[in-house]
Amino acid sequence: MAKVKFTFEDKKIEEVVVENAEEGFSILEIAEDNDVHLNHNCGGVCACSTCHIYVESGDEFLEEISDKEEDFIDRAIDPRLESRLGCQCVILSDDAVIEVQIPDQSNIIGHEH
């Protein structure tokens, strides 16, 4: 099973480590399944930028970024070189070790689970 560590730009939120993430699932799906808050207005179909995350390590274990995803990242709040959309970060290996940071979402009006 893959391991995904979620940290948060909002330091009031404690980190979450998911030890049983499965290959073939996206970071957004892993977040939802483990009660980690990550907005996703479009339902995870790469049509907005509300599930914007920073991949701190382990990007080699994720599907490559597409041109469409890059276009939506440009619309995200505070995009960086390590920016991705959680809905597009599909885990490629059960041996993956990935760390992502979820940006402050307090200014995003969006779907909350």
Beta bridge partners of 21: 2
Q: Tell me the C-alpha to C-alpha distance, in Å, between residue 10 and each of 88, 101, 102.
A: 23, 10, 8
Percent of residues, the chain, with pLDDT higher than 90 = 88
pLDDT tens, 84-103? 999 999 999 999 999 999 99
Cα 77-51-42 angle, rounded to 5 deg:
110
Residue 32 burial class via C-beta count within 10 angstroms: exposed 0-12, middle 13-18, buried 19 and up: middle
Q: Which two tokens stand for residue 30?
A: 């892993």
Query: Quick one: pLDDT at residue 20?
Result: 96
Structural domain boundaries in the chain: 2-102
Amino acid at 10: D
Report the topology of domain 2-102. Ubiquitin-like (UB roll) (3.10.20)
Q: What is the average pLDDT value for the chain, to the nearest integer? A: 93
51-84 pLDDT tens trace: 999 999 999 999 999 999 999 999 999 999 999 9
**In the chain, which ranges are E strands?**
2-8, 16-21, 52-57, 83-85, 97-102
